Amino acid sequence: MDPRTAYHTIILDLGGVLIDVDYHAAARAFAQEGFSDFETLYSKAKQDHLFDGFEAGAISPAEFRERIRRMLGKPLADARIDACWNAMLGHIPQERLDLVQRLKERFQVLLLSNTNAIHVPAFEAIVARENGIADFKALFNGAYYSCELGMRKPDMEVFQEVLRRHQSDPARALFIDDSIQHVEGARQAGLHAEHLELAHEDVLGLVRRLGLLA
């Protein structure tokens, strides 16, 4: 099977796949404010219902901040909560953005990210400042954030909805994510899916290994 013709649609995750993320950085920032057990509530592998709800858009930024204050037990300012929460966001190396453009020459390229209404403006500002891109979503044929969709990975429905919007057959779609639970959800929805193991390779290496580009 030639992957360059077998697939019509490539769906990319954001955190870990395109943008570097350090989940421990947020935990360290909150620890400086006295929130020493933040990592027991939020990590790459699992998270508390608060974060699930925030990612699904069921909890507003104001509600999220108030819940953080209650768990912390002190009146931390909104800006400080946002700074701690956004501390996990790193950079998007230009070669990964270039990769998106190259993939678009051959495939329909979509972005599907579990994210929230505080992170969205933060990473869009990073891309504008560091990569000179004013409209991040415009890089893709379609870009979807869980907080806007009202659903999140690994639920099968989110994959089905994104593909429906683009009239794409799941059997001809490839999903790439660094979280195995999301990969398994995509496979259950009928997509091909690859687990990007960041300890061994980045998305450029994975794309080369799969032979997606000539």
pTM of the model: 0.93
Q: State pLDDT tens for residues 71-98.
A: 888 899 999 999 999 999 999 999 999 9
- Helix or strand run (H / E) with residue 111: strand 108-113
Helical H segments across the chain, by residue range: 3-6, 23-32, 38-41, 49-55, 61-72, 78-86, 94-104, 119-131, 146-149, 156-165, 180-188, 203-210
Give the pLDDT mean for 99-123. 97
pLDDT band at residue 44 using 50, 70 and 90 as cut-offs: very low
Q: What is the DSSP string of 144-157?
A: EEHHHHT--TT-HH
Residue 201's contacts (CB-CB under 8 Å, 6 or more residues apart) are 209
pLDDT of the residue at 98: 97
Domains located in the chain, CATH noted: 3-20+90-210 (3.40.50.1000), 23-86 (1.10.150.240)
Read out DSSP for 36-61? TTHHHHB-SS-B-HHHHHHHTTSS-H
Is 213 exposed, middle or buried, given 0-12, 13-18 or 19+ CB atoms closer than 10 A?
middle
What is the rounded distance in angstroms from the CA atom of residue 67 to the CA atom of residue 161?
30
Average pLDDT of the segment spanning 43-68: 82
Q: How many CB atoms lie within 10 A of CB 62?
A: 10
CA distance 66 to 37: 17
What pLDDT is recorded for position 108?
97
pLDDT given for residue 52 in this prediction: 87
Say what the pLDDT of residue 86 is: 97
Give residues with Cβ within 8 angstroms of 4, minimum separation 6: 106, 211, 212, 213, 214
Give the amino acid at 214: A
Tens digits of residue pLDDT in 1-22? 677 688 999 999 999 999 999 9
**Average pLDDT along the chain:** 93
pLDDT tens readout for residues 136-170: 999 999 999 999 999 999 999 999 999 999 999 99
Q: Please tell me whether the peptide bond between 154 and the residue prior to it is cis, using omega within 30 degrees of 0.
A: yes
